[in-house]
Structure 1
Amino acid sequence: MTDLKLVIFDVDGTLVDSQGDILAAMTRAFDSQDLPQPVREDVLGIVGLSLPVAMERLAPQLGVVRRTHLVEAYKRSYSAIVKEGGAMASPLYPGIPELLNRLGGIDNVLLGVATGKSRKGLTTLLNAHGLTGRFVTTQVADDHPSKPHPAMLYAALDDVGVEASQAVMIGDTSYDMDMAEAAGIPGIGVTWGYHPATALTNAARVVSDTAGLQAAIFDILEVSA
């Protein structure tokens, strides 16, 4: 049995504070389709879902064709906003760079991503923060059903060749924790993102800062720096 461990991160609301870019891109997308703007709370509530599912929740009155236009408009807008902002767009949360460096320095610990972003959106973001190559497996919405379906996590485990018991999933939303539970992976919920702590009911642990996150990862996976 391998001694490898896999730490899987959500992106928006977990690694990066992308709410400003998400809200701005959503505003541009809805404006482009001459639609009334959804309220901020509703937009942040769908962060983590695949875009088609998210748009169906935000604009249930639209048919499939118009929702598809809305999805494409959002993708274009978000990509443009991130490129305009560079490394200042969707900043990493405090302590995240140090945590990634610390985890990356442990021989048997590998890092992965499971995100509702598209491949293009994730690539743009990782490039902006100099994180290209940091993660050995990157699972995106292009290739899987939307969270909380566990397909992303199954694929991540297969990529690395570890069992669910040797992995953790870290995220800020109920979708992340529900996905982790469905895959049989312990979930660690973080409170600095977009869902309240009360929504993270399926989390094995809930933490409020990166020091607590590191301690929870080390404890669950039985590793040390």
Structure 2
Amino acid sequence: MKLVIFDCDGTIVDSAAAIIATMEGAFAHAGLAPPSPSAVRNAIGLSLETCIARLVDDPALVPSVAQAYRESFAAGGRARAHGLFPGARAVIMELVARSDMVLGIATGKSRRGLDAVLDHHSFEAHFVTTKTADDAPSKPHPGMVLMCMDEAGVGPADTLVIGDTTFDMEMARAAGAGALGVSWGSHDAVELLTSGARSVVFDFPRLLPAIDGYFDEANGK
């Protein structure tokens, strides 16, 4: 059995604009100058507190900004952050139909946030294991991947992580799993390759041959 673990924000759902706007609002609520969109984008994928800690000068401000972010996102940002990238549903459904493969998610989102995305797209039954910032330390710590592998009963050699950030690639490698980057999210292809991606895919339909190619190579075919 093979396990394919997807990141969520920037990989499955196109949420960057909503995250950036919500972060700007949270900083304004705290009386702070907003971070640049590029700074926020570069931190997407980390757990919320870890992300904000990168964006503020004073660590003492992290809890209040995080609370403002959660309240703002729940009030309206979440609804704007559910759109799938083109081709995502078709690829996920094809992978779900395979008898030799199961799917998981490892995300910096909260459990509440991930469940909202899965419910919105009727994806709940398609992922046999899902881990969030509520379950393990922030990426690039390997905890989420290790927990997914344990729940699925699959070892590192048969596990592939797909994501759009260097945090995903580093997390995968730290867990002993394979890493495959996607170009349509937060970090560029050079960054993904440098941080351990086997390769980088430039649109969703190309994921299928890339996944097959990874496992064929890993199994010596």
In the superposition, the TM-score normalised over structure 2's length comes to: 0.93
Shift of 1:69: 1.5
**Is 1:75 matched up with 2:70?**
yes
**Is 1:134 matched up with 2:126?**
yes
Q: Tell whether the 8 Å contact from 1:111 to 1:136 is kept in structure 2 after alignment.
A: yes
**Is 1:8 matched up with 2:11?**
no
Q: 2:213 aligns with which of 197, 216, 219?
A: 219
Task: Please give the alpha-carbon distance, in whole angstroms, between the structure 2 residues aligned to 1:117 and 1:101.
Answer: 22
Q: Tell whether the 8 Å contact from 1:82 to 1:90 is kept in structure 2 after alignment.
A: no
SS at structure 1 position matched to 2:126? coil
User: Residue in 2 aligned with 1:36?
Assistant: 33
- Alpha carbons of structure 1 residues 164 and 62: separation in structure 2 relative to 1, 3 Å: closer
- Sequence identity percentage: 42
What is the root-mean-square deviation in Å for CA atoms of aligned residues?
A: 1.5
**Is 1:176 matched up with 2:152?**
no
In the superposition, the TM-score normalised over structure 1's length comes to: 0.91
User: Residue in 1 aligned with 2:204?
Assistant: 210
Offset from partner CA, 1:145-195 (integer Å, 9 cap, x none): 111010110000000001111110000000000111111111000001110
User: Residue in 2 aligned with 1:93?
Assistant: 85
User: Residue in 2 aligned with 1:150?
Assistant: 142
**Is 1:196 matched up with 2:188?**
yes
**Is 1:123 matched up with 2:118?**
no
Q: Tell whether the 8 Å contact from 1:188 to 1:206 is kept in structure 2 after alignment.
A: yes
Q: 2:20 aligns with which of 6, 18, 23?
A: 23
Shift of 1:84: 4.3
- Alpha carbons of structure 1 residues 103 and 54: separation in structure 2 relative to 1, 3 Å: same
Task: Please give the alpha-carbon distance, in whole angstroms, between the structure 2 residues aligned to 1:30 and 1:131.
Answer: 32
> Unpaired segments of 5 or more residues in structure 2?
none
